[in-house]
Amino acid sequence: MDETASALQGELRQTFDRLKELGGAVMLEDYPGAPEVGDQGDGGGDAVSATTERELTFTVRSLLIERVNRLAEALDRVRSGTYGTCRVCGRDIAAVRLQAIPEVTTCVRCQEAEEMTAREKGSRP
């Protein structure tokens, strides 16, 4: 399990680094009226582009924060000895699945069942 914990910690560090990279770029944009790089004040096109870019950055940051939380939870599961066990059925999660998505909490069968249920209800899992 030490190898698993090390791999998860590596993923966590990489995700933090990506989050930090985005954080620096966003902080300058957070201030209303902050000048854009190369801003000559000549129209709304750049403002729309900046707003779109800012929204995308916030979306990516949000997704990265969610992943950090899931990776931290996976590390907790490693420590408690429950990593690699499906939270729904209690069976082992395939090693290939854990390699691809180290923070995953369900086996393929249970994930598919959850997605099917969500589709039937008209929502996302």
Q: What is the pLDDT of residues 34-85, one digit of tens each?
A: 344 444 444 556 777 888 888 888 889 999 999 999 999 999 999 999 999 9
- Long-range CB contacts (within 8 A, 24+) of 86-91: 86/110, 88/113, 88/114
Reply yes or no on whether the pLDDT at 25 is more than 70.
no
* Whole-number pLDDT of residue 83: 96
* Whole-number pLDDT of residue 55: 87
* Whole-number pLDDT of residue 124: 56
- E strands, the chain, are none
Handedness of CA 42, 48, 53, 58 (dihedral sign): positive
pTM here is: 0.69
* Whole-number pLDDT of residue 40: 46
* Whole-number pLDDT of residue 28: 37
